[in-house]
Amino acid sequence: DASYAIDDVDAWDMSSVRRTISKIRPDWVLNCIGIIKQLDEAKNAKATIYINALFPHLVCESAAEAGARVIQVSTDCVFSGNRGDYVEEDLPDAEDLYGRTKYLGEVTYDHALTLRTSIVGRDLFSNVSLIDWFLSQSQKRVRGYTQAIYTGLTTRALSEEIWRLMSQYDHLHGLYHVSSSKISKFDLLSLVNRLFKAGVALEPLDSVWCDRSLCSKRYQHDTHFVPPSWEQMVVAMANDTTPYQRFRDGHD
């Protein structure tokens, strides 16, 4: 509902963020913004450090003043991927700027909750995301990594889980891993290829090894979260009626 949108807020202008939170006095502030590896801005260390590392803490300060709780979305990329099955107590060991800044931006105040996870889904304005890039390769040959292990969620599944969390577990704070069952990037793309009828010639590639899988047993225990299957999540994504191409055409 566009009537709920607020246009005069800019993360680079912290006074606008404080002013808006103070005026609205929300129950929750959900910080989803970040500078990811795929963006050109990721080459700018100053911008990446501010948005990924410092901004979440500034948001928490403003939220505390307004009596609001905060959910910060973090990433499995705080880990190198050398081992897999990471738990909350494992020390992040990413060596790149993105992983390090996201780790520094994790908030664990009494009124704040950081969810370490990873998302896969459609993109409104480009083909930057894995799914949209893959769908744009129809009738082409693409290699899928059989040894790249993933435990993320689709954007829809994570959105639904965050809503459930805010509705039923408003006392939760600290750091939690939120993950699904393990799947290789090859198997994930095979599922997308089949359910979207994408017509991509997908070939297995086993020369790349990376396992950033997260263990979410503690989160499942504390919130009774039951991870949806990958079949369920990709079916829901394939059945999504959002007119993505219209958004992209309008954006261009």
Domain 10-240: give its CATH superfamily: NAD(P)-binding Rossmann-like Domain (3.40.50.720)
Question: What's the distance, Cα to Cα, between the start and end of the chain in Å?
Answer: 23
- Is 146 exposed, middle or buried, given 0-12, 13-18 or 19+ CB atoms closer than 10 A? middle
Q: 1 pLDDT band (50/70/90 cuts)?
A: low
How do residues 121-170 score in pLDDT, each as one tens digit? 998 888 888 999 999 999 999 999 999 999 999 999 999 999 999 999 99
Instruction: Write down the pTM of the prediction.
Output: 0.94
Cα–Cα distance between 12 and 238 in angstroms, integer?
35
Q: Which residue has the tokens 């963020």?
A: 17
> Would the pLDDT of 209 be above 80?
yes
Crossing angle of the two packed helices 230-238 and 155-168, in degrees rounded to 10: 110
- Quickly list H helices, the chain: 14-24, 45-48, 55-66, 97-104, 130-135, 155-168, 185-195, 217-223, 230-238, 244-251
- List pLDDT tens digits, range 86-103: 999 999 999 999 999 999
Query: What are the domain boundaries of the chain?
Result: 10-240
